[in-house]
Structure formats: C-alpha cells, structure tokens
Amino acid sequence: MERLSEARWERVRARLRAEFGDAAFNSWLKPLALEAMDQNRVRLTAPTRFMRDWVLSHYGERVRAIWQAEQPNLAEINIQVRQQPGSERGGGESAEPGRQPATAEPVRERSNGGQAPSSPLDPRFRFETFVVGRSNELAYAAARRVSDSAEVQFNPLFLYGGVGLGKTHLMHAIAWHIHKRDPEREVMYLSAEKFMYQFIRALREKDSMGFKQRLRAVDVLMIDDVQFFSRKDSTQEEFFHTFNALADQNRQIVISADRSPSDLEDIEERIRSRLGWGLVADIHHTDYELRLGILQAKVKQAQSEGEAISEKVLEFLAHRITSNVRELEGALNRLMAYANLVGRPITLELTQEVLQDLLRANDRRVTIDEIQKKVAHHYNMRLADMHSARRARNIARPRQVAMFLAKQLTTRSLPEIGNKFGGRDHTTVMHAVRRIEELRQTDSVLAEDIDLLRRMLEG
C-alpha cells in the first residue's frame, strides 16, 4: 500500500510537471508532500499557507483531475499547511482543491512583524517565457536592465501599453529575477487597486505609519495599472510621498499603466510629470511575427502533453487573432483542450469550428487603415492627405475626424494613432479627439457624419 501510494504520487507529479513546465512545477508543486492516502482520500501538505492557497487557486482543479485519472474512486483531496516549529498557524488549516482562498496572501512575511502587502507573483511570468519582438523590445530591454543591475539607472521605469500586451508579465519577471539574483533585496509588487485597498485599510486600522514604513523599506517598488488611481482620494498623495521617499534613497521604482504618463488624466499634474522623468517604454500592438513566435513558444512549452499543432494552424491563428496576447493564448489553450477532450487532430477545420466566436470578434475589429479610407472617401479627399502635412481646413478637419474615430473604435494608443497619421505627435491626436468631441456638441452635420461613418465601419 505504501509503495502503491508513493508510485501514484510520483505519476501525478510527473504529469503536473509536464503540464505546467519546470519553472511552475519547481516553484509550487514540488514542495507539496504526500502525507496520507487511503481508498478515497488523499492528504497533501504545503510548507506555507500562502503556498497552499496559491496551489489551490491555480492548480487545484488539475491536481484533482489528474489524481482522479489515477484513482477513479477518489472523493477528497485535502491540502494542509505543514506543521512547522514555532509556527503559530500549525497544521490545522486545510482546504479542498478547486475552492478559492478567501483572500490573496502576501508573497512573504517580513521579519519585523506585520505583513508585507505584496501581491502574489505568477510563476509563469518570467523573462524566459517572454517572447521579444519589435513591439516590446524596448520595454523588455529596460526591464532586464532594471533587474540585472544593482544601481538605479532610471527612475521610475514606466511601462505602458494596451491590455494583454505583457506589462504584468514583465513586472513579475523583474521581481522573480531580482529575487533569484539576490534574495536579500526586498521587492514589492502591488496592483494599484491593492495599494489603495491596503492604504485605506491601514488608515481605518490607524496603522498608516506601519504601512508607510513597510513600503519605504523596500529596495524595489512596483505598482501595476496606475490608471486605476482615482482622482478623488488621498491614495495618490500617499503614493507620491512614498515614491519620492524611495527615489530619494535611490531605490528602484517600476510603474505600469495603459497609457503614457502625460495621458493619465485622473492623476495630478505634478505626479504625472514626475512619472515621466525616468525611462518611459511603451509596448505596441503585436505584429504577425511576434504573434507567431509567441504561439510557437507556447506550443513548445505544452508539447510534452498531447497533440502537436501544425505550423499552418499557428500561422492561421497569428493572422486572425490580432487583438492581444491574452486572447491569442486563450485561443490556443481552448483549441488544445478541445482537441484533447474529443481526441481529434487539430486541423484548420477544427480550429475554425472551435474558435468561431473569437475569430468573428477579431474580424469585426476596425483598423486605422479602414477608418482613413472610409473617412477620406466620405469627405472626398485623397487618402495620402491623412498622412500629409497639409493643414487646409477641408483636409485637417476630416483628418481629425479620422483620428477621433481611431481613438474610439480601436484599442490603439495615442502615439500609435499619431504614427499612423504621418508620424504625428500623440498630443496632436489628443487635441484632435478633444476638438471633435467639442464640435460634435454644437455642429449637427458633423455629428451625423460621425454617426454614419461609425455605423459603416462597425457594420
């Protein structure tokens, strides 16, 4: 019996390793130990509560499914926190896989009492798994530089770009890398929402001093998605003080947002300008080569498990799913899971069938090229004048309309739109958008033009 259960556990572990890859396996699954097993119950232990919760929320379903394949009458898998000398929590806590922990736990606890409010890091988000292309090479190089050098080179590093393009991935990669190189360095990674939440809670619990001290003791502070800082409350102010305190002590700060510092309208002017002092690196939309590269890398990572996917199918996906990397990944996962489940080879037909809705949604997305074409046609002007420097009113106004529509109907950033209009500056685009918004209120002909164009483009 003893040997049987060990053998089973080994097979489950091998499958988990194949499924999630070495990095994730070593970080999260390898530390689990088999404590007890009988006919229909298994008990595992994890070294810390944080680790247990993370395993439950990220791997719980799969651990259970894989084990059930080994042992069909299995009714319960239980993960407990391993009893540790001096641990106040003891081994009493347990939970079942597939159930989410009530709250996310901090990455690690600090020795000076109190908990570091860091958010958990995704073990898959490493430099090794990040595929570099033209659109993200600056952001990638800057992220590497920040994590490779002990000295602060630029402060802050400000990463920005649309959703699903790898900002969070890069930030986690920085944290993992610094931690590996020098475990002594204290890295704190927080989403802006978490920062606000922690700050407000500290205020409520009359512990804002403690909160400040904890933040100001870190070597590297990373705040993700700062566009979520809202105008009204005092968290911006607190963030700014923390920022200055850390910068004064020459500690590295890394910030991300979905737009550039100057476009963060809800953030106070002096903070905005301070955010732009270091290195500002934008991540552009993916191009075909990068999308294909990412798909190839993901397939390689998943290879040990199941079905090979032909280059043709990957090329098809890279062509058709252009929105962002998150959707691209999602499409690939869905396809592999489906093929695996029904046991069919992954052909182009199957791909089209399984991803019908996604493909259609991606097709419907309007491009800036189309917008320029339609607008030029509508106003009877030359397409080339969308890019030209001519400033005559009968050309400049339609051009502004096209910029406005590009901002409204696509997910492109202001600099990207500017680029598409003959390399104009993003402030020009911003101005155009504001101007058209204003005019539309009073000029009913213009308002109708815009409605019509929008319907044609979206239809």
Taking the complex as a whole, how short is the minimal distance between the CB of residue 161 and ligand ADP, in angstroms?
6
According to DSSP, the residues that pair with 191 across neighbouring strands are 224
| Contact status: 168 vs Mg ion (CB under 5 A) | yes
CA 442 to chain centre: 40
Q: Minimum distance from CB of 132 to Mg ion (Å)?
A: 18
Residue 74 binds which one of ligand ADP, Mg ion, none, with CB within 5 to 8 A depending on kind?
none
Minimum distance of Mg ion from residue 129's CB (angstroms): 15
The residue among 187 and 453 lying less far from ligand ADP, judged by its C-beta, is 187
Minimum separation from the CB atom of position 150 to ligand ADP (A): 26
Name the minimum Å distance from CB 286 to Mg ion.
Answer: 15
As a whole number of angstroms, the distance between CA 266 and CA 192 comes to 13
* Interaction partner, residue 27 (Mg ion, ligand ADP, none; CB < 5-8 Å by kind): none
Q: Considering only 12-20, 149-157, 166-174, 324-332, which stretch makes contact with Mg ion by CB under 5 A? A: 166-174
What minimum distance in Å lies between the beta carbon of 370 and ligand ADP? 25
Minimum Å gap between C-beta 163 and Mg ion is 7
* Residue 136 interacting partner from ligand ADP, Mg ion, none (CB closer than 5 to 8 Å by kind): ligand ADP
Q: Which does 326 bind (CB under 5 to 8 A by kind): Mg ion, ligand ADP, none?
A: ligand ADP
Residues from 205 through 224 that contact Mg ion (CB under 5 A): none
Instruction: With CA atoms as reference, report the closest residue to 257 among 272, 277, 246, 242.
Output: 272
Tokens of 338: 């489906």
Name which of ligand ADP, Mg ion, none residue 125 binds, using a CB cut-off of 5 to 8 Å depending on partner kind.
Answer: ligand ADP
In the list ligand ADP, Mg ion, none, the entry touching 131 (Cβ below 5 to 8 angstroms by class) is ligand ADP
Is 165 or 271 the residue whose CB approaches ligand ADP more closely?
165
Out of ligand ADP, Mg ion, none, what residue 207 binds, judged by CB under 5 to 8 A for its kind, is none
Determine the residue with CB nearest Mg ion.
Answer: 168
Q: Between 167 and 420, whose beta carbon lies closer to Mg ion?
A: 167
To which residue do tokens 């009204």 refer?
232
Q: Given the complex with ligand ADP, which of 70 and 137 has the nearer CB atom? A: 137
CB of 169 to ligand ADP, least distance (A): 3
Query: Is the Cβ of residue 168 or residue 322 nearer to Mg ion in the bound state?
Result: 168
User: Residue with CB nearest ligand ADP?
Assistant: 166
Looking at residue 446, its amino acid is L
Q: Which residues bind ligand ADP (CB under 6 A)?
A: 125, 129-131, 136, 161, 163-169, 294, 325-326, 329
Shortest separation between residue 394's beta carbon and ligand ADP, angstroms: 40
Q: How far apart are CA 347 and CA 288, in angstroms?
A: 20
Quote the CA–CA distance of 364 and 20 in Å, as a whole number.
34
Distance between CA atoms of residues 161 and 204, nearest Å? 34
How many C-beta neighbours within 10 Å does residue 114 have? 14
Residue 29 vs 331, nearer CB to ligand ADP: 331
Least separation, in Å, of the C-beta of 295 and ligand ADP?
10
Q: Name the segment binding Mg ion (CB under 5 A); options: 95-103, 168-176, 282-290, 312-320.
A: 168-176
Q: Could you tell me the smallest distance in angstroms from the CB atom of residue 224 to Mg ion?
A: 6
Binding partner of residue 387 among Mg ion, ligand ADP, none, CB cut-off 5 to 8 Å per kind: none
Partner interacting with residue 418 (select from Mg ion, ligand ADP, none; CB below 5-8 Å by kind): none
Q: What is the 3-state secondary structure (H, E, C) of the chain?
A: CHHHHHHHHHHHHHHHHHHHHHHHHHHHHCCCEEEEECCCEEEEEECCHHHHHHHHHHHHHHHHHHHHHHCCCCCEEEEEECCCCCCCCCCCCEECCCCCCCCCCCCCECCCCCECCCCCCCCCCCHHHCCCCHHHHHHHHHHHHHHHCCCCCCCCEEEEECCCCCHHHHHHHHHHHHHHHCCCCCEEEEEHHHHHHHHHHHHHCCCHHHHHHHHHCCCEEEEECHHHCCCCCCHHHHHHHHHHHHHHCCCEEEEEECCCHHHCCCCCHHHHHHHCCCEEEEECCCCHHHHHHHHHHHHHHHCCCCCCCCHHHHHHHHHHCCCCHHHHHHHHHHHHHHHHHHCCCCCHHHHHHHCHHHHHHHHHCCCHHHHHHHHHHHCCCCHHHHCCCCCCHHHHHHHHHHHHHHHHHCCCCHHHHHHHCCCCCHHHHHHHHHHHHHHHHHCHHHHHHHHHHHHHHHC
125 or 195: CB nearest ligand ADP: 125
Does position 45 interact with Mg ion (CB under 5 A)? The reply is no
Q: Which is nearer to Mg ion, 192 or 247 (CB)?
A: 192
Q: CB-wise, 60 or 161, nearer to Mg ion?
A: 161
Contact set with Mg ion (CB under 5 A): 167-168
